[in-house]
Structure 1
Amino acid sequence: MKYIQGGGIRMDAGKLYDVIGIGIGPSNLGLAALLDPLEEIDGLFFEQNTSFEWHPGMLIDKSVLNSSFLSDLVTFADPTNPYSFLNYLHKHNRMYQFFFYQKFNIPRKEYNSYAKWVASQLGDCKFGRQVTNVEDGTGDWYDVTVFNIETGENHSYRARHVVIGTGSTPMIPEDIKDEMNEDICHTSSYLYNEKNIKRGSHVSVIGSGQSAAEVFYDLLQDQKHYGYKLSWLTRSPQFFQTEDAKVGREIFSPDFVDYFQSLSFDSRTSALPYLDQARKQIEPGVLENIYNELYHRSIERKDPDVLLQPMTELRGIRSLSGGNYELTMHQWQKNMSYSHITSKVIVATGYKPNVPKWLKKYKDKIYWEDENTMVVGKDYEFLFKKERPNHLFTLTNLDQSHGTGATNLALSVYRNQRIINKIAGYERYAIQEDTIFQQFMPDEK
């Protein structure tokens, strides 16, 4: 690649890409994999981390995806694509092992290995590159500034379209943000702190959802080796399990995403809490494993040194002498506050969208649903007040616009199909319709 020097930024001389992807998580990695066999679309993808890593702090032994292996990076768009999970198994001589494994859900560690295998084969995926700015070009393109972490140089690239796939970051409540340390960590860094956590005398998991359950179950299994007390406290009314009925799971379909997007902004916003039963709760298998462990332990021990308590909210953390912490808890249904003494804390408070700072410069050019939510079109593009042929697509912060299609791995391929078709100007990857047995509104007459 040839560069010219200019203003401290090395410019790509004359090259105009069709699309540049910012961030290489499963979404943009899948986009790169689907673009790889297409000669008509020239793409380039940048990731600030030096290698592909998918939630490395939560790759707990024996934890599994809550999606089928069919929801890999490419299969729903093109089952013949060489970057399918089945081809990964074939290339690694694991096809028979997976066949006899007899499960649809694959281990998280294996999904991470699969994605790293795909990333290693895609020359258009560049790691150790941080996108620091995206400016409107003088023509129908964007100027993308990229910082090379290894060399310390800035480079500028041009692209007709840009796809934001910057994922999410841990969401830490403001009243405990200053207290985070090696004893008090978010689930996203659990494995990095695991040894220290398990050396505690009392370990407390705060929050609900799949991550909280997986961490709690891992701690529960190792409790007999370390001897700590173990608590799981959540403000949720119950330890809710994910909707697992087959018909209920049909909301993770292109049909439902299309229906959801057809609703008004107020209707979409009010519908989101009802979708959480399927999106943000705990897989039944994990809850079953937890209960079975507690049941077998209860045969010989009446006091298992385990506390499970819903309806209880964390209000604050205070450091005590001797390496302990005082947690101010509030049981909201009884309106009762009390102190909970523990030595280690894992907060499972979820994630928030990682929205790039440079996007703020487009604020007055883009339509907004309200003061905090930008309008996102059916093809995952921001809607500009002045129509333009060069699009800014987003795979981040989509809850309000696409509901169940926001982060679900099973719908990641569908999101990429729509983006590729928009870029190509025709249906390069066929969008399947009428894919489920139910409908969400009466037929128009």
Structure 2
Amino acid sequence: MEQSYDVIGIGIGPFNLGLAALLEEKTTLSTAFFDETDVFQWHPGMLLDGTDLQVPFLADLVTFANPRSKYTFLNYAHIHERLMTFFFFNRFDVPRLEYNAYCQWVSQQLENCHFGTRVENVVYEANKKRYKVELLVKGKDIKRVVYANHLVVGTGSTPLVPGDMAEQLNDDIIHSSVYGHHEEDIKAARVVTVVGSGQSAAEIFYKLLHAQPEHDYELSWFTRSAGFFQLEDSKVGQELFSPSYVDYFHDLPYEARKEALPLLGNLRNGVQQKTLHKIYDLLYHRSIHTNRSPALIQAAIEVDSIEKSGPRSYKLIGKQWQQQKEFSHQTEKVVLATGYKPAIPKWLEAMKSDLVMESDKEFAVTRNAELKFKEKRSNRIFTLTNLEHGLGTSATNLGLSVERNARIVNELVGETVYQTSPGPVFQRFSEEG
């Protein structure tokens, strides 16, 4: 017997998990969300002790759409008898470990979330006006086929490793996304190097710096950026993570949007001030008796390649790009905190000829994250990944993802189920009239 749904979600990260909760709580649509992992895990390799979200707890899975929802973070804290300690914790941000536990709690309550099931292919059956979704149940090797009127793609991102270095990843050369799984082995090395300048790089460097006296390794931190810059977290600056700014940004021509994105980089790609302060304070304390830095820290270093130079020994090769001088560095372990890129499923790539494209890799999207087809379809596809060029650097912001999900729910139902405006901000972004 055929199993059909109004909506199928592909991938269950925070964005699709929040959408699953909103759909389950206030609509009668038949929905199913699939993910190949066995349980919800949010960046498991970076769930490090002492690290926090970069957004307030109000940016949970549902609050911006429905503060009365049973799936809010505050209700999670209430049910788990953590409200009093959270009150005395007296902070807006929450530990990453707790955010992951909160998301797992929500996922375990939702009957429309199915883990351990990989979406292998999607085919549009135009004559039947539906999507055929081919599934593989992991561990049992059971193949299934289900159908959907509409799709939501939430496949997230995949590690970005520059050049040929992606082919060299091994137990000694890793991406930061799996750091937690290799931490003890890394600390056992004699020489350790971190590459990158974002929040993940800074958190990993701080943990290694903190553990350095116990394990006695040489530690280095390099970045291609011109410096180790602070995340823009001023109240006025943060207003660019608002629906009002997304409205403005989306209405700009493609060329203007692409020009604006690098200028917005410090809203997302910098390091939290408190992390930079912790690093500096620890460096200062360690230098008291030697008056030397316990680690080599250098910006404007572009690592082009990594060469094996012996058993568990590697040479980083590149240049100091401002001086145009050659650079090399010997190490035993390398952590590449070099960011992420959108994970686009092959079946979606195969639909490119049917889609309106803004570039070879960038899909045209509506303000409400719907893909645009050259010939309009009644069977819609919404995407929660590869959106930065269309909705701005805030496309990956946890809080704005809830407002975006509210818009998607309203589109799918055909009426206003959720309020989509959390309220105005003080800035005006567009010239009126």
User: TM-score normalised by the shorter chain: which range applies?
Assistant: over 0.9
Q: Say if 2:81 is the partner of 1:103.
A: no
What are the superposed Cα offsets for residues 223-266 of structure 1, whole Å, 9 maximum, x if unpaired? Answer: 11101111100010010111121001000011101110000000
SS at match of 1:288: helix
Q: 1:121 aligns with which of 109, 113, 119?
A: 109
Q: Say if 2:111 is the partner of 1:136.
A: no
Root mean square deviation, CA, Å: 1.2
Q: Say if 2:226 is the partner of 1:247.
A: no
Identity %: 46
| Residues 257 and 404, structure 1, Cα contact 8 Å, conserved in 2 | no
Which residue in the other structure is 2:366 paired with?
377
What are the superposed Cα offsets for residues 131-151 of structure 1, whole Å, 9 maximum, x if unpaired? Answer: 111111333321111111132
What are the superposed Cα offsets for residues 126-183 of structure 1, whole Å, 9 maximum, x if unpaired? Answer: 0010011111133332111111113212111111110000000111122222221111
SS at match of 1:368: coil
CA apart distance, 1:295 = 1.3
CA apart distance, 1:443 = 2.0
Q: Say if 2:334 is the partner of 1:348.
A: no
Q: Say if 2:378 is the partner of 1:389.
A: yes
What are the superposed Cα offsets for residues 47-105 of structure 1, whole Å, 9 maximum, x if unpaired? Answer: 00111110000011100000000000000000110010000000100000000001111
Q: Say if 2:34 is the partner of 1:82.
A: no
Which residue in the other structure is 2:141 paired with?
152
| Residues 35 and 116, structure 2, Cα contact 8 Å, conserved in 1 | yes
Which residue in the other structure is 1:170 paired with?
159
**1:314 alignment partner AA:** V
**1:284 alignment partner AA:** Q
Tell me, in whole angstroms, the C-alpha distance in 1 between the residues paired with 2:422 and 2:100: 30
Distance 1:336-1:357 versus aligned 2 partners, 3 A rule:
same
Larger CA deviation: 278-287 vs 63-72: 278-287
CA apart distance, 1:281 = 1.1
**2:275 alignment partner AA:** V
CA apart distance, 1:372 = 2.3
Which residue in the other structure is 1:363 paired with?
352
Tell me, in whole angstroms, the C-alpha distance in 2 between the residues paired with 1:338 and 1:373: 35
Tell me, in whole angstroms, the C-alpha distance in 1 between the residues paired with 2:121 and 2:224: 39
Tell me, in whole angstroms, the C-alpha distance in 2 between the residues paired with 1:203 and 1:71: 35
Flag structure 1 segments of 5+ consecutive residues without an equivalent.
4-12
**2:246 alignment partner AA:** V
Q: Say if 2:433 is the partner of 1:437.
A: no
| Residues 301 and 327, structure 2, Cα contact 8 Å, conserved in 1 | no
Q: 2:320 aligns with which of 325, 328, 331?
A: 331
Tell me, in whole angstroms, the C-alpha distance in 2 between the residues paired with 1:322 and 1:360: 40
Tell me, in whole angstroms, the C-alpha distance in 2 between the residues paired with 1:338 and 1:286: 28
Larger CA deviation: 268-277 vs 428-437: 428-437
Tell me, in whole angstroms, the C-alpha distance in 1 between the residues paired with 2:274 and 2:282: 12
SS at match of 1:105: coil
Query: Under a length normalisation based on structure 1, what TM-score does the superposition of the two structures give?
Result: 0.95
Which residue in the other structure is 1:64 paired with?
52
Which residue in the other structure is 2:304 paired with?
315
Larger CA deviation: 119-128 vs 169-178: 169-178
**1:79 alignment partner AA:** P
What are the superposed Cα offsets for residues 200-224 of structure 1, whole Å, 9 maximum, x if unpaired? Answer: 1111101111110111011111111
- Compare the two structures and name the one with the higher strand fraction: 1
SS at match of 1:32: helix
Q: How many residues align?
A: 432
CA apart distance, 1:371 = 2.3
Query: Under a length normalisation based on structure 2, what TM-score does the superposition of the two structures give?
Result: 0.97
Tell me, in whole angstroms, the C-alpha distance in 2 between the residues paired with 1:139 and 1:300: 76
SS at match of 1:333: coil
CA apart distance, 1:433 = 6.6
CA apart distance, 1:405 = 2.9
